[in-house]
Structure 1
Amino acid sequence: MSIYTWAIMIGVIAGFLVRIRLLRTDYRQYPTYLHGQIIHLSLGFIAAGLGAVAVPALLEKDYTAITFLVLAAQQFREVRNMERETLSKLDRMELVERGASYIEGIAMVFEGRNYLVILSAFLVSLTVVTTQWVWGGILVGFAAVSVAGILRSGKYLEQIADVSLAPLRMDGPNLYVEDIYLMNVGLKENRDRIMERGVGVVITPKNRNCALTLSNIGQRQAILYDVSSILGVFRDTGEPALVPLSKLDMDEGKVGILVLPQVRDPERVIRVVRKVPVLESAVRMPTERPEQSS
């Protein structure tokens, strides 16, 4: 076989393995079904093929390959729109919704992973062609798969904030977690249920940047969704008083959380909250902004 054939074969295999490495079914419940996984793996195979074929095409001065890459980018953007639409429809059936920020983050990740597959296949194919060494491409492929595993996860909440349990208390009809006001609970039956089944959590940001990230409504909704998705939620439709809730202490930047898991286990609640991903759309870094010169 020619060196181009080897480059394309190894590049496609490496890119496809990168997509498999990046495909993970987890607590977000998506994609759990087989057909959803097949869709993403098929798109990953196509992306790997585009990245691997691009190198021989460009070296042979067949510049129409660039056109195919541009068309692929447009198609993968449609994948992002598809994921956004699908998750938005599924979100309406959840007792605790993900929220628009969480959905947009998931959709953006699915699009970006296809570009990562193209880049991995391109680098592997380029290595094989330029070095004329098949094993060199294989080594680059293993490196790409390893790096993909690292890129699969971002920051967690425990890296930007301290998470601790906090007591719930009722002051008449007013519900507090520690000293943070949550809401007014009118019915005594609901107050008793919340005190019996609820778990209070206080999240304290580590600096000003983290405080602004925690104040983002999308980030706070992601916390409520993750806890409810993993530990369940003690509520049904038509019971607004039993919905998990977050409130911001505007003086100190702390966030008070009320969750109502199916099985009341405060230690598990803390572990889950600490592992909530930090949404890219929620990150704010005003202290790193350079001062404007007058």
Structure 2
Amino acid sequence: KPDFTAVTFLALAASQFREIRSIERKTLENLEENELVGRGSDYIEGIARTFEARNYLVMATALLTSIAHELGKWPAALVLAVLAILFARAFMAGETIGDICEVVPARLWFNKDGVLMVEDIGFVNIGLREMREKIVAEGLAVLIRPKNADARATIHDLGQRQAIAHTVAVLLGTKKDVDLPEYTPMARKNPDTGEVGLYTVPVEKDMEALILAVKRAPVLESARSRPLKTEAGRLAARP
């Protein structure tokens, strides 16, 4: 007589995994209130999706390994388990900003009207002279240059830019506090060139570390765009 116990538990686990995304999303949204530099709703949704996907990958790996054991005993199960784990790691790695963009140091300065500039990208007006001097002395800036039209569309997404700023703040620290909004890491785009400038006042002033942090920022699934996959996008991208 067939035993469907394992199938029953498999179906039960799958139904529970569907709740994981909402639980993780709610947890991160609650924590967002206390973040000096927030993740943003797009980043939170991406993390929640990743948590859900990881559970499905674990379940699939266990299922395939069990089938391999039944068909070929331990040697087959061991080989398939290793292959499944390697596939899962590669699948979950995802793209980073360093894969689709170049990140280079940029000049941080103020124009005559007191507007904070990264190269020729305007950010925000800083009124206090002492604050402007401190930002120029301790701040860092980079330019994020997209490698193609797909990358340009991706980094123009507001959620993607917020994710980059959050990653930089987490990895390098930030001198921002509740009463120092001027130190908030920000990313703004140049509408003419498609480049994105990023400014921050880190705890440790290290340009190499900043470039590496930006490159390691994840590309959000919700921000990912593929205009070059369409004829209209290819025509628009022609020089």
**1:217-228 alignment runs, 5 A limit:** 217-228=158-169
**Cα distance in 2, alignment partners of residues 279 and 174 from structure 1:** 30
The answer for the alignment partner of 2:198 in structure 1 is 257
Alpha-carbon distance in structure 1 between the residues aligned to 2:82 and 2:227: 39
Aligned to 2:235: none
Residue of structure 1 in register with 2:237 after alignment: none
CA distance in 2, matches of 1:119, 1:285: 29
Aligned residues: 231
State the match for 2:91 in structure 1.
151
Q: What is the CA distance between 1:123 and its match in structure 2?
A: 0.9
Deviation of 1:101 after TM superposition, in Å, equals 1.0
Distance in structure 1 (CA, Å) of the matches to 2:34 and 2:230: 40
Letter aligned with residue 96 of structure 2: Y
Q: Which residue of 2 aligns with 1:115?
A: 56
| SS at 1:280 equivalent | coil
Provide the secondary structure at the position in 2 that maps to 1:136. helix
- In structure 2, the residue matched to 1:207 is 148
Q: What TM-score do the two structures reach when normalised by structure 2?
A: 0.90
Give distance in 2, aligned partners of 1:111 and 1:150.
Answer: 16
The question of whether the paired residues in 2 share the 8 Å contact of 1:199 and 1:260 is answered with yes
2:176 counterpart of 1:235:
yes
* Gap change, CA 1:289 and 1:61, over 3 Å in 2: farther
Moved more, 65-74 or 227-236: 65-74
Q: Which residue of 2 aligns with 1:128?
A: 69
Q: SS state of the match for residue 93, structure 2?
A: coil
Match status 1:138 vs 2:78: yes
State the one-letter code of the partner of 1:150. A
Letter in 1 for 2:106: A
Percent identity among equivalent residues?
40
Where structure 1 has 5 or more consecutive residues not aligned to the other structure, the ranges are 1-59
CA RMSD of aligned residues (A): 1.7
Match of 1:198 among 139, 154, 160: 139
Q: Distance in 2 between matches of 1:185 and 1:87?
A: 32
Distance 1:244 1:85 in 2: 25
Alpha-carbon offset, residue 204 of structure 1: 0.8
Displacement after TM superposition at 1:116 (Å): 0.6
Unaligned runs of 5+ in 2: 233-239
What is the Cα deviation at residue 128 of structure 1? 1.8
Which deviations, in whole Å up to 9, do the C-alpha atoms of 1:89-147 show, x marking residues without a partner?
1121111111111111111111101111111111111112233x232112211222222
2:176 and 2:182 in contact (8 A); partners too: no
Between the aligned partners of 1:157 and 1:150, the Cα distance in structure 2 is: 17
- Cα offsets for 1:151-196 (capped at 9, x unmatched): 3311111111110000111112111101111111112122112111
Residue identity in the other structure for 1:229: V
Match of 1:168 in 2: 108
Which protein shows a greater Rg?
1
Quick one: which of 4, 9, 15 aligns to 1:74? Answer: 15
Kindly indicate whether the alpha-carbon contact (under 8 Å) linking 1:249 and 1:256 is maintained by their aligned counterparts in 2.
yes
Separation (CA, whole Å) in 1 of partners of 2:192 and 2:3: 62
